[in-house]
Amino acid sequence: MSYNLPNNSWVYKQSLYSDFNNELLSGLSQGLNLYNSEKDLTLYKKTDISKLDNVNFDQINKDLDKNNNYYNNAKSTLSGGISGTIQGIGQGLGKGLHDFVFSVFGIDIDGIKTYIGLFLIFLIIYKKI
């Protein structure tokens, strides 16, 4: 799809001229002059936006919206499917592995949590003393 958009050098040049003009007018409005007001106004750069007259921005925006919708729909479908699959596998393995290890070795996880909590409290009190 060709929209006859201007090239990057034209865009850069117009941006540079626009920034220069804004700074020049800002300085003049504050009473700052390089030479005098009349001579400073001769430094004003003309920006040429005639290249944009033939560009159909409505069509560009419509195409961008359509492509963006395709992209977002595909991205959300893939990421949702992949993350859901990974999450399901992780939960299944985690629970299965957890149950297997603790049942084989006969470890009581609630007891371990209690002992670790008491040990941390003891460390905090010991460091304060």
Reported pTM:
0.41
Q: pLDDT per residue over 58-75, tens digit each?
A: 777 777 777 766 666 666
pLDDT at residue 78 in the model? 63
- Using an 8 Å Cβ cutoff, are 54 and 4 in contact? yes
Q: Does residue 30 contact residue 11 with C-beta atoms inside 8 Å?
A: no
Cβ neighbours of residue 47 closer than 8 Å, sequence gap 6 or more:
14, 17, 18, 21
Backbone angles phi, psi at 127, to 5 degrees: -70, -30
pLDDT in tens, 2-59: 566 778 888 888 899 999 889 888 888 888 888 888 888 888 888 887 777 777 777 7
